[in-house]
Amino acid sequence: MPDNPPIPSLDELHALKPLQQPSYDDLTEVAHVVNRLRSLPPLVFAGECDALRAKMASAAAGEAFVLQGGDCAETFDGVTAANIQGKLRTLLSMAIVLTYAAQVPIVKVGRMAGQYTKPRSAANETRGDVTLPAYRGDAVNGFAFTPEARRHDPQRLLGVYNASAATLNLVRAFVTGGFAHLRSVHTWNADFVKSSAAGVQYQTLANEIDRALAFMVACGIDDEVFGTVDFYASHEALSLEYEHAMTRVDSRTQLPYNVSGHFLWIGERTRQLEGAHVELLRHVRNPLGIKLGPTSTADTALELADRLDPDHEPGRITFITRMGAHRIRDVLPEIVAKVTASGRQVAWVCDPMHGNTFEARNGFKTRAFSDVIGELNGFFDVHEEQGTWPGGVHVELTGDDVTECVGGSEDLVEADLVNRYETLCDPRLNRNQSLELAFLVAERLTTGRIRRPNPVQAFVPVSF
Ligand SMILES: O=C[C@H](O)[C@H](O)COP(=O)(O)O
Ligand SMILES: C=C(OP(=O)(O)O)C(=O)O
């Protein structure tokens, strides 16, 4: 159990000159908003964060696999039943593919209910002869290209709280109220294009699950044990005002937790060792992710791990590597080797999205499905060579049939991007591409090439 040093104040954090922060013009208004946020109830319970930390520890130990996914940038307008259900359905379908094929428990974590703040490469955006502040996520400003919308508005932080609460409320209802029951495995994708290869593969798997379920019921097992799933919320902890206001001392343990989400990650652009984000998050008890891009070194990874997890607590640290398909085989091996040699057991999760973005000839920001799979294969190969466990995937996806990433079995080309390009920031996999990815990952997990300590004991049938 870590010591409990005082949580730094917001002023102390700002003195560390944090990157990627909004510039608010009315600091009194900011203080009002932060005070209001401090008075609002937690969105998650500290005990749930502890439960997730234990599951992340299983992923670090090679006994579970993490599936983390959702929008690049959630939006306030996107908080609709259809959107939330669509993302959940996609994640549950992917999880079932991974569980059934790979026979390993899947830790299900949404990039949901809090993913409203975006770091940007450039502070401004220019269209024609007009330059305005870049869109930084609904937590900060609006997407419309007008001075009013692009103003950094602190009231939006209350919008983040409300949107996250509404999303979590429905997610909790879905995962405990019957929607996620294993019996529903067919209905999640009932409307799926029959001609889609992943859709057909999914139907075949769903039929097998139906038969297995019927067999178990015939054997006298109450199928209500398959009625609910554990599902967790995560986002990038970027807005210091919001994350600080949502950091509370847990009444059970007297220890601080960030109660805006179960799992928080520090982005590639804000993970400076002496920076404000590391300083705030080192005090909270939540399980933490650290993004590692192509310029990362083993020393950086180890220094961050020492700072954020001085006690080597199981499940505390997850390294989310996002090196790019063409760099992963060069950069990842040394990091994995040195972290492992240090005696740390961390969860290794592959984000095959953020290192593979490019601008298409028609101006759309996109990713090629082949690069996404290329990076995943590199990730599995490196861990196979090192004898370490590839602990999970982190993907930007949606439940809709958008056209934002090229490739996949539908063979989307750059000319298709214009049809349904709906993301406000980075391109997401659509439902078909997400399922396809799940089948490919399941195949890598089942080939037998990956060492799994004890697959039989590791399979926990009551919580898929
Ligand atoms: O999601 C990640 C970042 O916010 C995003 O890649 C930054 O994109 P930009 O380079 O268009 O600013
Ligand atoms: C900004 C993100 O990633 P990264 O920090 O890896 O660029 C993200 O995951 O939204």
Q: What is the pLDDT of residues 113-160, one digit of tens each?
A: 999 999 999 999 999 999 999 999 999 999 999 999 999 999 999 999
- Say yes or no to pLDDT of 98 above 50: yes
- Would you say 335 and 379 are in contact if contact means Cβ atoms under 8 Å apart? no
Q: Which atom of ligand 1 is nearest to the CA of 267?
A: 2
Among 126, 77, 96, 324, smallest CA distance to 209 is for: 96
Q: How far is the CA of 342 from the centre of ligand 1 (A)?
A: 33
Nearest CA to ligand 2 atom 7: 268
Q: Model ipTM?
A: 0.98
Confidence of residue 191 (pLDDT cuts 50, 70, 90): confident
Q: How far is the CA of 40 from the centre of ligand 1 (A)?
A: 30
- Say yes or no to pLDDT of 448 above 70: no
The predicted pLDDT at position 196 comes to 82
- Establish whether 269 is an annotated binding residue: yes
Q: How far is the CA of 426 from the centre of ligand 1 (A)?
A: 6
Nearest CA to ligand 1 atom 5: 120
Under DSSP, is residue 397 helix (H, G, I), strand (E, B) or coil?
strand
Nearest CA to ligand 2 atom 6: 268
Q: Which ligand has the shortest distance to the CA of 294?
A: 2
CA distances from 449 to 94, 307, 339, 384, 416 (A): 21, 34, 22, 7, 37
Q: Which ligand has the shortest distance to the CA of 350?
A: 2
Give the tokens for residue 321: 């590597």
Full set of structural domains in the chain with CATH: 10-177+231-446 (3.20.20.70), 181-227 (no CATH)
Average pLDDT score over residue span 174-188: 90
Torsion angles phi and psi, residue 280, rounded to 5: -70, -45
Q: How far is the CA of 267 from the centre of ligand 2 (A)?
A: 5
Ligand 1 neighbours by CB, cut-off 6 Å: 72, 118-121, 354, 425-426
Q: Which atom of ligand 2 is nearest to the CA of 293?
A: 6
Distance (Å, whole) CA 38 – CA 30: 12
In this structure, are strands 392-396 and 256-258 parallel, antiparallel, or unpaired? unpaired
Q: What is the pTM of this model?
A: 0.95
